[in-house]
A and B are shown apart, each in its own frame.
Chain A
Amino acid sequence: MKYISEFRDHKLARKIALRISRIARSIDREIRLMEVCGTHALAILKFAIKELLPPNINLVSGPGCPVCVTPNQYIDKACIYMQRGFLVTTFGDMMRVPGSQSSLVREKSRGGKVKIVYSPVDALRIAKSYPQEKVIFLGIGFETTAPTVAASILMAEEDGIKNFMVLCGHKLIPPAMKTLVENKRVRIDGFLCPGHVSAIIGSEAYEFLARDYNVPCVVTGFEPLDILQGINLLVSQIYRKEAIVENEYTRIVTQKGNLKAKDLMERVFKVSDSYWRGMGVIKSSGLSINEDYSRYDAQLHYPVEITSFKEKKGCRCGEVLQGLIEPRECMLFGDPCNPSNPFGPCMVSVEGVCNIYYRFGSDHKVEKLNARSN
């Protein structure tokens, strides 16, 4: 088992696609399925999955790109910490996200200190190596990154490292999905639930969506066959007029999730309200550092208040994140907003929907291709 090539088999892909088409035809209306996760959006475009789907299935992208849902105030705060001489450590994607006035990259060119890391544990190592620096790690991301941040805080505690702090901006996926289904502007017939997040929280975390909101949910992996099978299971549920949680990604995800990771999060964090770009404050949708570990909370020890913040004029990232519009419906898309001149975060992150559409060509391009080569 190599876990990649088997899940890219074109014969099997055609078979599943055929089945999806048959079911979709008998449903005979527009079916809107939301892929919550940026990695799903990436795989769908990269493998041009939409080409295999019947016209009445519409895949819309959701808020599952951690960099993208992080609000401007957070970037503004990180910039202020850099201006005040802190050493900021961050995942690479955050570097070029524009804040209200500045960005980490711009602060760096002005002499601010910032280092890209692949894990918060690397940030901890930096704090250890530079005891004279006050090191802040930008803790963003969903249930996937939060456990490693919790672990790094526990390690800091164990090793007595005092110059390490976290600017905590972690967010939780299920409350955002709840907000989306409650929002009447966004019609969603089914969720392709995020595979990585589900590895931590387990498939059971979506049960309320099926039970209380009657929305079919399928936890789905990231290879083309995973995604097609996820869609197949969703349309089958819709056809049967059923709403349950199914798990397509059984090689990674269990019903209960990763108990160790959940325990780490519970020890270090508490659930709090959180501000999402485009969606505003969502109740109980974020994590903040709890009282026991408050000495690692950058915001608590070195408070920075952002009184006003502004989005770039015309940027519609907020609507893109909720599946309300597709990137090309934004007037800025492509020109002037593109990966080398991003107006909003969705164009920066490799898992941002706009960036993905820009890189992998829009459906429009593909349609043109087909029309010509067939």
Chain B
Amino acid sequence: MQEVISLAHGNGGKLTQELIRDIFLPRFNNPFLAPLADSAIFKIDRKKLAFTTDSYVIKPLFFSGGDIGKLAISGTVNDLAVMGAKPIFISCGLIIEEGFPLSTLKKIIFSMEKTARKAKVCVITGDTKVVEKGSADGIFINTSGIGIIPPGINLGLEYVKIGDCIVISGTVGDHSVAILSEREELGFKESVRSDCNPLYSLVEKLKPYWEGIKFMRDPTRGGLAGVLNEVVRGQKFSIELWEESIPLREETVAISELLGMDPLYLANEGKIIFFIKPERAEHILQVLHSHPLGKKASIIGRVVSQPLGKVYLKTSVGTKRVLDMFIEDQLPRIC
């Protein structure tokens, strides 16, 4: 049978990695792409810049805590922020399905503008395409972003050492749970709000401690466990996480248990994972706690030496297990 693209090719798991490794990387081979980071880093006139792009196809378009517009700005801003870049400019490409209500489009654009203002970025270029009814689902948005990396922040996995602390800026899994519970057939009356938010202000606030931050990632698709698996692959260290220290909302835990999902693998749209010098961890935690988006920040684990390239979890009952990379979308359970 002819091989075709499955949904799993787009979920950030093993199949996505295979696409990148087998098809994209060999063709677009260049030193800027090769690190496969959230943004590409390059220099113009001795200024260090970061450039990134992302497409947003979320359904439903409006959800508790956000909408596709807010997400399209936040997601791209955050991909720059975790490279240490101060986001400056954003582009906005729209693919709209024929018949899409103008009033809904307006709501989305207003939300983009509001979020952009909050994130202190300008949308400076854009494009609109309309496709026949049935050729897209409502609206898809692509945004690209450019940011400037200020002097004093030097991030890279090469700086990570055994013993470094891993900090998360808040509770995990809320975004996915918010989206899943919006699906009408589930009929939850109240659920969790998505954490969707632009995060550069959090990074900026940490400026006095930038020398203590070695690496950052935003745990979007694949969640905390999936993203950390990407990070450790091929590295000369592994990551130990402490289940008890991972901040989780009770509602998120309850709903994910009900749906047969693991919040550690669920997407976040307003969180950063930091790799930090252990002697700076407490200071950084204090600063995070003083920011509205970092109130529940916590040290959740550390970099350890063995076994190479694995993420493992010390469970709440004191046992250990490997947190592997998931390869399929998690399906709802039936009993």
Within 8 A of B (CB), among A1-39: 2, 4-5, 8-10, 13-14, 38-39
**0/1 per residue, A88-108, Cβ < 8 Å to B?**
000111010000000000000
Q: Once the chains bind, are A52 and B317 in contact (CB under 8 Å)?
A: yes
Q: Which residue of B lies closest to A48 (CB)?
A: B319
- Determine, out of A140-148, A237-245, A297-305, the stretch whose residues face the partner at the interface: A140-148
Query: With A and B bound together, what is the CA distance between A52 and B328 in angstroms?
Result: 30
Q: In whole angstroms, what is the CA distance A247 to B280 when docked?
A: 50
Give B8's nearest chain A residue, CB to CB.
A340
In the complex, which of the residues A8, A14, A46, A373 has the most CB atoms of chain B within 10 Å of its own CB atom?
A: A373
Size class of the A contact interface (CB-based, 8 Å): 35 or more
CB within 8 A of A51: which of B319, B328, B331? B319
Q: How many contacting A-B pairs (Cβ < 8 A)?
A: 117
CA gap between A93 and B185 in the complex, in Å: 17
- Among A54-62, A151-159, A271-279, A357-365, the stretch that binds chain B is A357-365
Tell me if B315 counts as interface (CB < 8 A to partner A): yes
Q: Which one, B100-108, B124-132, B304-312, is touching chain A? A: B304-312
**Contact indicator per residue, chain A 170-201, by CB within 8 Å of chain B (1) or not (0):** 00000000000000000000000000100000
Whose C-beta in chain A lies nearest to the C-beta of B318?
A10
B260 at interface, CB cutoff 8 A: yes
| B326 interfacial by beta-carbon distance below 8 Å | yes
**Residues of B contacting A: mostly:** loop
Residues of A within 8 Å of B328, CB to CB, are 339-340
Judge if A338 is at the interface, Cβ distance under 8 Å.
yes
The size class of the interface chain B forms with chain A is: 35 or more
SS class of chain A's interface: helix, strand, loop or mixed?
helix
Q: Is B327's CB under 8 angstroms from A340's CB? A: yes
Within B297-335, the residues touching A (CB, 8 Å) are: 304, 306-307, 310, 312, 315-322, 324, 326-328, 330-335
Determine if A49 and B317 form an interchain contact, defined as CB atoms under 8 angstroms apart: yes
The reply to whether the CB of B44 lies closer than 8 angstroms to some CB of chain A is no
Contact surface of A with B, Cβ cutoff 8 Å: 2, 4-5, 8-10, 13-14, 38-39, 45-49, 51-52, 66-67, 91-93, 95, 109, 116-119, 122, 140-142, 144-145, 196, 224-225, 228, 338-340, 349-351, 359-361, 365-366, 368-370, 372-373
| Interface of B toward A, CB cutoff 8 Å | 4, 8, 14-15, 185-186, 244, 250, 253-254, 257, 260, 262, 304, 306-307, 310, 312, 315-322, 324, 326-328, 330-335
